[in-house]
Chains A and B, each alone.
Chain A
Amino acid sequence: MANSRIIIVGGGLAGLMAAIKSAELGMAVDLFSIVPVKRSHSVCAQGGINAAKNTKGEGDSTFKHFDDTIYGGDFLANQPPVKAMCDAAPGIIDLLDRMGVMFNRTPEGLLDFRRFGGTLYNRTAFAGATTGQQLLYALDEQVRRFEADGKVTKYEGWEFLSAVLDGNRRCHGICAMDLRSMQLKTFAADAVIIATGGNGSIFGKSTNSVVCTGSAQSALYQQGAVYANGEFIQVHPTAIPGEDKLRLMSESARGEGGRVWTVRDGKPWYFLEEWYPKYGNLVPRDIATRAIHKVVYELGLGLDGKAAVYLDVSHIPVETLNRKLGGILEIYEKFVGVDPRKHPMKVFPGMHYTMGGLWIDYDQMTNLPGLFAAGEAEYQYHGANRLGANSLVSCIYGGMVAGRTAAAYSKNNAKSAEAVSSTVFEQELKRQQELNDALLKGQGGENPFHIWKEMGELMTEHCTVVRNNKGLRKADEQLVTLLERSRRMNLSDRSSWANQTLAFCRELTNMLQLARVIARGAEARNESRGAHYKPDFPDRDDANWMKTTKAVFAPDADEPVLSYEAVDASLIQPRPRKYDIAA
């Protein structure tokens, strides 16, 4: 009998780790990615990866990492999988070290660790300020080794369009588009793992890469996959505003002693240090973001009256900066033209990460049997707010679990996959081809790029730092209008070779549907928790809202329907989240 076959969609950290695990378990792996996997968005992660190795005599433990993660996430994450992740983290660091990641070292030659937001411990391993890049390359190299051995087949330059589901909504493969020939094709597999990352493009400008549209997750949601906690969007406190995107200035700048300030009465005012004496500049991201928002919009103390504050590392010795933060300081210098070693950097919060994603169980499987998810594309590990340097560990851990559980599922379900009728593949291919044909023929006069811009501005205004129900209602209504307009799009490129406009239009429609999940989820949740902040409901409301939002697409109404599921808080008793007092 042939090997079981697993399809992995997405070649970032989660997808590559899942590929390594599945290939190691004897699966034949087909790996799909829009970009060559080495160019995936994981390269952008800068500061580091958390693991409680307790190498600095601070009494750190994996339980404290677990507690910080749950507390930082404002008690919205299911606790058992988060605990399992934190317990696995030290082993993950060791594995990456064995793969050759050039982590920074101590004088004794051991791994060095630094501090990050939302913790009082030095638990973040780092490779300069380019940790995500180094980690992605290590996994990329291992997958290339499997590829050379014929155990992994890469489909780079292919875009996932949909899952192939049978009448019982069991997943048997995918439909994908070759971004050169624009040909559609279906691929069969015993299990499919979705590792397609975040959805920053829904907000127009974000810190995310171009491919982070959330299109795959949205397509699956429209096919019946449950999307969880969509309203939880992390806005990173320190991004560099740009014409084409917002560029991240890593939290590691503060981890290494960087200070946030603005000018008040002609003097520097270190407002984070004043408001949060214990954590100072290293409060969690949602807290720092709201503080900057308040300083700029409520107190009117933005630099030169503009939406910016200073992030200052100029007091740190240049040699230390180059060794520990070189990569990110270069980014600032290259894009802004000012040397941050000498002058404070101008930053402002920017959309960065989605805590929400495809709903999965503790085995990383979605509600559609045979369809798994890992990494930022799913919702499991960060609750209402993600701590810095936890994304890399969650991607790798989720990929490990999904690789293993998808392989086990494949072995147990191989027969049913072989028995599946070819009609389900043909029907899905036909459905997708019709969508392409309609777009290529469209004569409606709507410009997809204008719709995208309007969506981005709408979502940034109403669905980021501060939310209120009137604005959210308006946002959803306008999204419906934009969806209607998107059905009358007119493509300026109708060719059938490397047509990036066609691919973009497919993504855009999916982004609009997912944007509604975010807006509706936020409107319904009348409380403030983690990154979700409503001034009209300023407190966390555990009695009514300590529950996961589950959005299901209702095809006839063409809209999300929300239901809720209790959070598994079986390990740590919820407590108020207060970083401004000594806990």
Chain B
Amino acid sequence: MKTIEVQVKRQLTPDGESYWEEFSLPYRPNMNLIAVLQEIAAAPTTKQGKASTPITYESNCLEEVCGACTMLVNGRSRQACTALVDKLEQPIRVEPMSKFPVIRDLQVNRQRLFNDLKRVKAWIPIDGSYDLGPGPRMSQKTQEAAYPFSHCISCGNCLEVCPQYNDETGFVGAAVIGQVRLLNSHPTGKMNAHERLMALTGPGGVHECGYAQNCVKACPKEIPLTEAISQVGRDVVIESVLDFLRG
């Protein structure tokens, strides 16, 4: 009988030891890794016949747009929902992301990413949510150039593969820099470009980038992240000089 062979790196608590478990499932066509994890949850017995527990993991939309189900699949950081079994080499090895603290099994804590969005003030400070008339006009060209950056799903793939993304550098990483690029190109967002750029000057700022260019390859949404880093990097330098001259 054709089977699907899966190896999962497990860890029951944040401080617990990690260990591997093997599962073997009857093959069905057109399964993704989520469907595999769902099957294991319904019958959590290892290949060796040992009673185990369902695997804890984050997921939500299963359409690669919520960013929840990031994990390492055969060593590659990606979304589990678009990891199609028929295209994966077996045994499929599944591990939690390595750059974030493990909560349990494949679930990690990515709060740092959301905190960094706060750091760069990744929002447009509107006057209020009242009806204050239309927004600013925008050319099709500006919209089309900015739109890819609005696709960032905060999945963290770009951070997982970035050599500079660690506790030592405190680097905010490509995803957050992409948001600065997005907001700074918006006609209203531009008004606060200075604050966002200055937030990227200190430790962990844009200069921490080591140009490995892994981020752009790992991004499931094909966001031109290296382009954003170059542009924001330039803008940060100019803004810092101006800031210095202004005293």
Residues of A in contact with B (beta carbons under 8 Å apart): 17, 20-21, 24, 35-36, 38-41, 43-44, 91, 94-95, 97-111, 127-128, 130, 133-134, 137, 141-142, 144-145, 147-148, 180, 209-211, 242-245, 247-248, 323, 327, 331, 334-335, 337, 400, 447, 449-450, 453, 492-493, 495, 497-501
Contact = CB atoms under 8 A, between A and B. Distances in A.
A335 B150 CA distance: 22
A98 B124 contact: yes
A445 B124 CA distance: 54
Interface of B: 12-13, 28, 30-32, 34-35, 38, 41-44, 51-54, 56, 58-68, 81-82, 84, 103-105, 107, 110, 114, 117-118, 121-126, 128-140, 143-144, 146-147, 150-151, 153-154, 182-183, 186, 188-189
A130 B149 CA distance: 12
A498 B104 contact: yes
Interface centre among B51, B82, B130, B147 (most CB of A within 10 A): B147
Given A24-B128, A501-B54, A245 B138 contact: no
Contacts of A133: 65, 150-151, 153
A100 B53 contact: no
B9 to A, nearest CB: 15
B60 A210 contact: yes
B147 A127 contact: yes
A100 B124 contact: yes
Contacts of A245: 62-63
Interface of B is mostly: loop
A497 B104 contact: yes
Contact of A498 (B52, B103, B154): B103
Contacts of A44: 61, 63, 65-66
Given A40-B60, A95-B130, A100-B124, 12 more contacts: A36-B110, A39-B67, A98-B124, A100-B186, A102-B147, A142-B126, A145-B125, A242-B30, A327-B151, A331-B63, A450-B42, A500-B54
A222 to B, nearest CB: 25
B68 A35 contact: yes
A104 B126 CA distance: 20
Contacts of B122: 141, 144
B131 A95 contact: yes
11 contacts: A38-B154, A102-B143, A109-B140, A130-B65, A142-B126, A145-B125, A209-B61, A211-B60, A243-B28, A247-B63, A498-B104
B64 A35 contact: no
B54 A95 contact: no
B43 to A, nearest CB: 8
A275 B125 CA distance: 50
B151 A244 contact: no
B139 A105 contact: yes
A35 B131 contact: no
Contact of A497 (B13, B118, B128): B13
Contact of A243 (B32, B60, B139, B186): B32
A248 B103 CA distance: 31
Contact of A134 (B53, B134, B150): B150
Nearest to B183: A100
A20 B129 contact: yes
